[in-house]
Structure 1
Amino acid sequence: MKAIWRVFLTYSLVGLANTLVHWQIFFVLRVAMGLDQSISNLAAFCVAASFSHYLNALYTFEARISATGYGFFLCVMGALSFAVGYLGDRWQVHGLLTVTVFSLLSLVFGFLLSRFVVFRGDHP
């Protein structure tokens, strides 16, 4: 059980860096460029996910990078990011709430998806 907590802690630290990248890109696209939250959240997620997928493969799960696993992760979590942004647009909530909700969902679902699907069998 200790191993999963070590993996989750490392995943969370990478996630913190990912969150900073994601939020910065989201707010540039949303505020400076005037894009919808759905598009801003999806684009920011794609950039941040590329960064964190590499770091998680290297440091968290000590796994080789798989194009199939990366594509699957990007599709599933990208759909979630778009859906959260879409709801933010539809309900007219502040962008800060949108990225906060997505970041929390992404921490939980992204970890489960990475640990048990994308990098299954490759982790310590």
Structure 2
Amino acid sequence: MNAIWKGFLTYALVGVANTLIHWQIFFVLRVGAGLDQSTSNFVAFCVAASFSFYVNALYTFEAKRSVPRYVLFLCVMGALSFIVGYLGDRWQLHGLLTVTAFSLVSLVIGFLLSRFVVFRGGRA
């Protein structure tokens, strides 16, 4: 259990950087470009996920990076980001609430997906 918590803490630190990237892109697309929340959240996630996938593979899980694993991660978490953005649009939520909700949900689901599926067999 200790190794899982250590991996989770490293994952969370990478997640802070990921969140900053995600939120900045989300708000540029949402406010600056006028896109809806679902599209903004999805595109922002894909950019931020590229960063965090690489860094987590190197430092959190010490696992080899592979295109199929990257695509799996993007598909599952990208769908989740789109769904959260869609719900934000549908329920007319403020963008800050949408990205906060996605960040919290993706922290837990993204870690579990990374730890037990995408980077299975790595260090953490």
1:11-44, Cα deviation, whole Å (9 max, x unpaired): 0000000000000000000000000000000000
Percent of aligned pairs with the same amino acid: 77
One-letter amino acid of the structure 2 residue matched with residue 19 of structure 1: T
| Match in the other structure for 2:73 | 73
Unmatched runs of 5 consecutive residues or more in structure 1: none
Alignment length, in residue pairs?
Answer: 124
2:102 is the alignment partner of 1:102: yes
Unmatched runs of 5 consecutive residues or more in structure 2: none
* Cα distance in 2 between the residues matched to 1:5 and 1:31: 37
2:93 is the alignment partner of 1:93: yes
One-letter amino acid of the structure 1 residue matched with residue 89 of structure 2: D
Give the TM-score normalised by structure 2. 0.98
User: Are the equivalent residues in 2 in contact too, given 1:115–1:123 (CA < 8 A)?
Assistant: no
Runs of at least 4 residues off by over 4 Å: none
Give the TM-score normalised by structure 1. 0.98
User: Are the equivalent residues in 2 in contact too, given 1:56–1:62 (CA < 8 A)?
Assistant: yes
